[in-house]
C-alpha cells in the first residue's frame, strides 16, 4: 500500500451542517469513497436486518449508536480496500471512536489527511433539518425519523456533549480547520478545498 495514494478526510460538524452534501461532492471529484455510518445504519433499518432492529430505537430517540457496533462497521468497510481513500461523514462522533479509528488507520498505514469542521449557528441548523423533512414529505418520500424539530434539538445537544472533544483531538494533531458552513453549496465547498491546501 503506497502511503501517498491514501487519503482520509473526516468531516466534523453538527447535524444539518451540510457534511453529507459536501462529502459527496468531494468524494466524486477526488475519487474517494464516502463512508456515512448514518447511511449504513439507515440501510440496515430499511432492510429490517438484525442490526437494523437493534439500532432503530436508538436512532429514533436521537441517541448515538454504541461505539463497538460502529467501529466493527468501519473496520469491515476499510478491510477490503487496496488503497484507503475515504471521507468519513458522521464518524467518529466520540473520543473513543476517534481513538479506535486512529489505531485502525495506523494499522492500515493511512493517516488522517484533513478534518474540515463545518460551523453553522444552532437555529439555522434546526431550520435546515426541519426543512429537509418538509421537502422529503412534499416529494412523497419517507421522512427521516430524525428530521423533526424535537429530535434535531436533541441531536444538537448530544453533538455538543459528545462530539466537541473531537475538535480538540484533531486540532491537537494539526488536522482540523474551521469552515464557515453558511452560504451557497459552492461557497462552502470552495472554503473546504482552500483549507485542504
Paired residues of 89 in beta bridges: 11, 36
Q: What is the pTM of this model?
A: 0.79
Q: What is the pLDDT of residue 4?
A: 55
Q: What is the DSSP string of 3-63?
A: GGG-EEEEEB--TTSSHHHHHHHHHHHHT-EEEEHHHHHHHHHHHT-HHHHHHHHHHHTTP
Please state which architecture CATH assigns to domain 7-191: 3-Layer(aba) Sandwich (3.40)
Q: Where are the domains of the chain?
A: 7-191
Q: What is the pLDDT of residue 136?
A: 82
Q: What is the pLDDT of residue 1?
A: 37
How high is the mean pLDDT of the chain?
Answer: 87
Task: Tell me the binding residues.
Answer: 16-21, 37, 42, 63-65, 90-93, 97, 132, 144, 155, 183
Q: Using an 8 Å Cβ cutoff, are 89 and 19 in contact? A: yes
Task: Tell me the binding residues for AMP.
Answer: 37, 42, 63-65, 90-93, 97, 144, 155
Confidence of residue 2 (pLDDT cuts 50, 70, 90): very low
Task: Tell me the binding residues for ATP.
Answer: 16-21, 132, 183
Amino acid at each position: 500500500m503506497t502511503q501517498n495514494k491514501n487519503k482520509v478526510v473526516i468531516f466534523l460538524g453538527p447535524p444539518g451542517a451540510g457534511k453529507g452534501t459536501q462529502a459527496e461532492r468531494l468524494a466524486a471529484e477526488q475519487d474517494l469513497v464516502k463512508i456515512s455510518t448514518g447511511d449504513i445504519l439507515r440501510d440496515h433499518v430499511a432492510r429490517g436486518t438484525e442490526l437494523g432492529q437493534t439500532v432503530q430505537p436508538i436512532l429514533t430517540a436521537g441517541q448515538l449508536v454504541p461505539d463497538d457496533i460502529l467501529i466493527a462497521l468501519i473496520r469491515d468497510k476499510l478491510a477490503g480496500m487496496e488503497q484507503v481513500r475515504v471521507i468519513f461523514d458522521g464518524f467518529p462522533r466520540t473520543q473513543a471512536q476517534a481513538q479506535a479509528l486512529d489505531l485502525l488507520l495506523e494499522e492500515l498505514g493511512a493517516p488522517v489527511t484533513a478534518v474540515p469542521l463545518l460551523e453553522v449557528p444552532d437555529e439555522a441548523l434546526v431550520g435546515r433539518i426541519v426543512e429537509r423533512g418538509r421537502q422529503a414529505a412534499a416529494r412523497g418520500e419517507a421522512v427521516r425519523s430524525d428530521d423533526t424539530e424535537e429530535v434535531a434539538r436533541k441531536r444538537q445537544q448530544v453533538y455538543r456533549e459528545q462530539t466537541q472533544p473531537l475538535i480538540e483531538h484533531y486540532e491537537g494533531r494539526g488536522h482540523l480547520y474551521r469552515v464557515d458552513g453558511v452560504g451557497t453549496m459552492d461557497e462552502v465547498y470552495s472554503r473546504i478545498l482552500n483549507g485542504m491546501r
